[in-house]
Amino acid sequence: MDDMLRVFERDTAGLVDVRGTVIRSMGLNPTENEVLEIVEAVEEPSSTGFVSSEKLKSVVVAMLLTHEFKGRLVARDSESRILKAFEVLDREGKGYLPAEYLKELLTTMGERFSGEEITEMVNAAADPETGNVYYEEFASILATE
């Protein structure tokens, strides 16, 4: 874990940028609100966006062991669980979702994604010829990356 945190250190002072990337790179999947709560739990009184790697490590280790933060699940979903979610959305059982439909869902339901996040995801997931997201392969990517 120390090696992973060093990648995100600002300098040799042991301060880590905690805007979510470091936490997600360890296989955890907190919401943006949870990231803010994690930062709040470990940052110094004079907020800089960077926190002590030792303080962050204690919180992350606890999350890795329990898969929870303040009683809420923060671990990545399994590939099978992600696949089942896509299958629920694919009412006709075609094995894909039109990218436009997925964009609509991501902007209107649950934790809403930014336009930039949606564009990035759809560009990575949608077949360039059909504009469809073939979700079986995409579920595997979401579960592991």
Model confidence over 47-88: pLDDT tens digits? Answer: 666 777 888 888 888 888 887 888 887 877 778 888 998 999
For the chain, what's the residue count? 145
Distance CA 61, CA 47 (A): 22
pLDDT score for 94: 95
pLDDT score for 38: 83
User: How many angstroms separate the most distant Cα atoms in the chain?
Assistant: 55
